Chains A and B, each alone.
Chain A
Amino acid sequence: MRQVHALGADLQDGLHGRKVPSAARRLRQLLAVDGVVLADLDGPVAAHGKRPDPEEVETLLAQVFEYGSNARTRLADGTSVCAVPLYVADELAGSLVASGHPLEADVEAAAALVSDSLDHAALRRARARIAAADLRTLRAQISPHFVHNALAVIAALVRTDPDRARHLLSDFADYLRYGFSEKGDYATLSEELEATQTYLELQRARFHDRLDISVRMAPEVLPVAIPFLVVQPIVENAIRHGLERKEGRGHISVSGFGEGPLCVIEIEDDGVGMHPDLARSLLAGTGPESRSVGLANVDQRLRAVYGPEYGLVIETAPGEGTKVTVRVPRFTRGVVAR
């Protein structure tokens, strides 16, 4: 049983992993034969024990790959060689060749085992790819949302205040360079704050300066690496859903400080607030379509990067404003701002 389990571990990187020779050795022990060859579609990749004549093997492999079925041949010294195809996701991927006195049924069972392991390896790789792709989509999801708003604001100003519009446009260009940069998935908190500042410039233009903003940052958390666009979407949410509907002046505060090994960022507004149930459904991604973009997205990305316990925390009540807290470890392996 242990050999079978270890076989699975040996094949976890597929037929081209580092431990494939060790898998061949295990297969030879399991089958109790003289020699074992593992081959992919281009030819043998690993072998253990006595190797039959390479030409012999090649002929057998050609036979297997042509018909997709078992092939067997008897050698001059009285032993026989048996080749069985390996299937990954129902596609021919290689072959298992055993020489000596192999029982065809045994070799078939072993080939099935190897096929399963290879299948798992392929699935694992696919899963990692999907996670990476998910992160990328989540990141891309934000941008169009904001691009539209920003352009609308600038468009509104172009005629009445062309100077400011020009200023905002260049700010906006800076912001886009930040948002679309291909440098990596993470930025330092200080870069993130600069991007947020640009965003707030644009929003203030829209609000005709009835927006108060205060920032309090402990300097020791500024170099902390966080995923791209975490602060800005929360600020955006606070303005769109908290302050936009409020009469008179609105105030939004962003503060950051260290809490031992954690970095805490709080975004607080004194807007209209919302019902806690609504906040819950927003985070779960089941809220009303028009509001479900920003917060759920940030929440998912934080969880994807740091683990399930590091999601957003929202404290709110109708008429009481909203406070969103981001709490992330200052250091996580793999999270580095470039």
Chain B
Amino acid sequence: MISVLAIGSVLVTSLVIGVYGVRAARSTSDFLVASQRVSPSWNAMAIAGEYLSAASVLGLAGLVLKNGLGTMWYAVGFAAGYVAVVALVAGPMRRSGAFTVPDFAEYRLGAPRLRQLCGCVVLVIMLLYLVPQFKGAGVVLSLVSGTPYWVGVLLAGLVVSGSIAAGGMRSATYVQAFHYVIKLTFLAIPAIYLVVYSSPDTRAQALHPEWGTHFPEPTPVEFTVGARFSLDEPVTVTTPSGAEVGLTAGDHSVTAGTEYVFPEGAPIPYPAGLPELGGQLWSTPLLDVGGYPLFETWSALLAITLGCMGLPHVIMRFHTSPTARTARRVAVGVIGLLGLFYLFPTVYGLLGRVLTPQLVLLQGTDTVAVVLPAEAVPGTAGAVLTALVAAGAFGAFLSTSSGLLLALAGGLSHDLFQGSVPRLRLAVAIGACVAVLLALPARTIDINVLVVWAFTVAASTFCPLLVLGIWWRRLTLAGAASGLTVGVVTATGAVGWSILLPTPPGWIAVLLAQPAAWTIPLAFTTMIVVSWFTRAPDWAEHAVLRLHSP
């Protein structure tokens, strides 16, 4: 109940800020106030607020719990992406005056058809990014209100499209900055409290992996989905009816709805195919799903770092800065704010491994940040902490998905169907519907897997377009178009295949699951080679020059 109230108040406050929080003024001199630009620090907070999504708040903690310390590379990538943005695109993008990537493509290469192609790519990236947001919101809402998952997702869709329709995103800068504060405080306070509150033993266990492999107390585990898990030694568990069931060492299958109570000190079962909690593999600081840790780590880092600059809703925020110099300063500020924030998901992941290891079995690791406080702290205090985290996670969902939905709707109404009267609200509704429909079957897919998918596509399409478009005057229309097409097809196809279809083991599986290391170079090469064989228009040099002249 407290959680529902907390979420509701976050929602209402953002709506109020959105509608009334634009600088209001009552005299003529306020024209001057209103016409002054927003300061870099506000702007940086707004960007960080929009950027920190459910993937950062929920997904990262879940992955640390499930796949081990290596997943912290994701946080590194999320923050490092802004280094690439500062170094390569923030300033020139500001000078071009372009608001979105399709705008930039039209500015640089001057072709409405390319604009439409970019619009399609925006659609793909935004949908891939929206689905995990809705999944996260659905999980959180169904957790705090006790409704089924699909109700949560549906509710999330209604809330977001409703808040956009109500004009809640009119003053995106202040709303997003508010959301950054919400996310930071609502995640930091429970995290710090948990660290201080938990016993020295728990803290030691969190830092010393081999201790985390046994249940700290008798723990009921309810399998809401069918699962296969392995045990290293035999255990006797009890069912709710009191009957004792002996489980031998080895693999076991359970159907949905089964409930076992594991006794104190029993080894924690782990799903087949995942690293044992706290084991050697778990603590190695590399991403390792398919057996080639170094390659996987680099590939994921590349995807996230370069994908950041290609995310349409990130790039459009630099438009707000008055000069290219401030745009860069803002981006540097964002790096600091992100770095600060990413301390906390790690805390949830590490403590979650000690206190709520059963989530791994239930394929519900994405909920760890919300479940953990109530498990760790009994009574009202725990409920309040849960409410805080839930509200923070909801704020993350609300800010990111509003930004994404608006970018998606903008692409739909402005880039793809140019000439018709823009029907933004309709486009928002359509985007939300599609995202909800796609999120319904995505329940068991990790939030971060989907998010990295979106980043991979962005890194293989818009990153080459922006980097070459800004730094290489010989880029041509044909080169850009073919590179975009190759990038979007390979990146979307590879990850899609690895998630949805069975893959052969070994190198192929790794190449499909983490394709950035080959799709990004492929897209770059295609653009360069095709551009070599075609002629850039005469004004290309002038267009590039304007991107770099102060």
A61 to B167, CA, bound (A): 71
Closest to A225 in B: B97
Listed by A's residue number, 23 A-B pairs whose Cβ atoms lie within 8 Å are A190-B37, A194-B32, A213-B27, A214-B25, A215-B31, A216-B24, A216-B34, A217-B34, A217-B35, A220-B171, A220-B173, A222-B322, A223-B319, A258-B169, A261-B100, A261-B413, A261-B414, A262-B422, A309-B420, A331-B99, A331-B107, A333-B110, A337-B97
A220, B172: Cβ atoms under 8 Å?
Answer: yes
Residue numbers in B under 8 Å from A196 (CB-CB): 31
Q: Contact at A262–B424, with CB atoms within 8 Å? A: yes
User: Which residues from B are CB-within-8-Å of A336?
Assistant: 97
CB distance A193 to B424 under 8 Å? no
Contact, CB under 8 Å: B27 / A223? no
List the A side residues contacting B253 at CB < 8 Å: none
Question: What chain B residues lie within 8 Å of A216 (beta carbons)?
Answer: 22-25, 34
Q: Are B37 and A223 in contact (CB under 8 A)?
A: yes
Give bound CA distance, A259 to B172, whole Å. 10
Q: B30 interface residue, CB < 8 Å from A? A: yes
Chain B residue with the shortest CB-CB distance to A188: B322
User: A218 to chain B: closest CB distance in Å?
Assistant: 4
Contact of A217 among B22, B100, B411 (CB under 8 A): B22
Stretch at the interface among A65-73, A197-205, A270-278: A197-205
Contact of B173 among A200, A219, A337 (CB under 8 A): A219
Chain A contact residue count (CB 8 A cutoff): 39
New A-B pairs, 18, CB < 8 Å, besides A222-B35, A259-B424, A260-B424? A193-B31, A197-B32, A215-B25, A216-B24, A218-B170, A219-B38, A219-B320, A220-B172, A223-B320, A258-B169, A260-B407, A262-B424, A307-B419, A330-B99, A330-B103, A331-B98, A333-B107, A333-B110
The 5 closest A-B pairs by CB, nearest first: A197-B31, A219-B38, A260-B410, A193-B35, A261-B410
- Enumerate chain A interface residues (CB-CB to B < 8 A): 189-191, 193-194, 196-197, 200-201, 204, 212-220, 222-223, 225, 254-255, 257-262, 307, 309, 329-331, 333, 335-337
Asked if B301 is at the interface (CB within 8 A of a chain A CB), the reply is: no
- What chain A residues lie within 8 Å of B42 (beta carbons)? 219
Nearest CB on A from B98, distance (A): 5
Q: Looking at the assembled complex, report how far the CB atom of A257 sits from the nearest CB atom of chain B, in whole angstroms.
A: 4
Which residues in B have their C-beta under 8 angstroms from that of A217?
Answer: 22-23, 34-35
- Distance in angstroms from B154 CB to nearest chain A CB is 24
Given contacts A223-B322, A260-B424, whether A215 and B34 have CB atoms under 8 Å apart is: yes
CA distance A33 to B191 in the complex (A): 87
Contact status of A257 and B32, CB under 8 A, knowing A213-B26, A216-B23? no
Which of B38, B170, B413 gathers the greatest number of chain A CB atoms within 10 Å? B170
**What residues of chain B lie closer than 8 Å to A255, measured between beta carbons?**
22
Could you tell me which residues of chain B, from 474 to 500, have a CB within 8 Å of some CB in chain A?
none
Chain B residues with Cβ under 8 A from A201's Cβ?
A: 28
In whole angstroms, how far apart are the Cα atoms of A335 and B97 in the complex?
Answer: 9
- The answer to whether A331 touches B23 (Cβ under 8 A) is no
B409 at the interface (CB under 8 A from A): yes
Give the complex CA separation of A217 and B37 in angstroms. Answer: 10
Which residues in chain B, 399-440, are within 8 Å of chain A measured between CB atoms?
406-407, 409-411, 413-415, 419-422, 424, 427
Contacts of B410 in A (CB 8 A): 260-261
Q: Which residues of B are found within 8 Å of A214, using beta-carbon distances?
A: 24-26, 30
Bound Cα distance A196, B110 (Å): 34
Chain B residue numbers with a CB within 8 Å of A219 are 23, 37-38, 42, 171, 173-174, 320
**Cβ A329 vs Cβ B171 within 8 A:** no
**A330 to chain B: closest residue by CB:** B99
Complex alpha-carbon distance, A255 and B33, angstroms: 13
* Closest chain A residue to B405, Cβ basis: A260
Closest-by-CB residue of A relative to B100 is: A261
A257, B171: Cβ atoms closer than 8 Å: yes
- Across the interface, do A194 and B319 meet the contact criterion of CB distance under 8 Å? no
- In the complex, chain A residues whose CB is within 8 Å of the CB of B411: 261
Do the beta carbons of A222 and B103 come within 8 Å of each other?
A: no
B259 at the interface (CB under 8 A from A): no
CB within 8 A of B31: which of A194, A212, A259, A331?
A: A194
In whole Å, how far is B313's beta carbon from the nearest beta carbon of chain A? 11
Bitwise interface map of B from 451 to 488 toward A, beta carbon under 8 Å scored 1, else 0: 00000000000000000000000000000000000000
Q: How far is the CA of A200 from the CA of B27 in the complex (A)?
A: 10
Expressed in whole angstroms, the minimum distance between the Cβ of A164 and any Cβ of chain B is 13
Could you tell me the distance in whole angstroms from the C-beta of B432 to the nearest C-beta in chain A? 14
Q: Is B222 an interface residue (CB 8 A)?
A: no
The residue that B320 contacts in the complex, of A200, A220, A309, with Cβ under 8 A, is A220
Residues on the A chain within 8 Å of B419, using CB: 307, 309
| Minimal Cβ-Cβ distance residue in A for B29 | A197
Chain A residues within 8 Å of B30, by CB: 213-215
Q: Choose one: B98, B174, B319, B413; the contact of A260 (CB below 8 Å).
A: B413
Contact residues in A for B24 (Cβ distance below 8 Å): 214-216
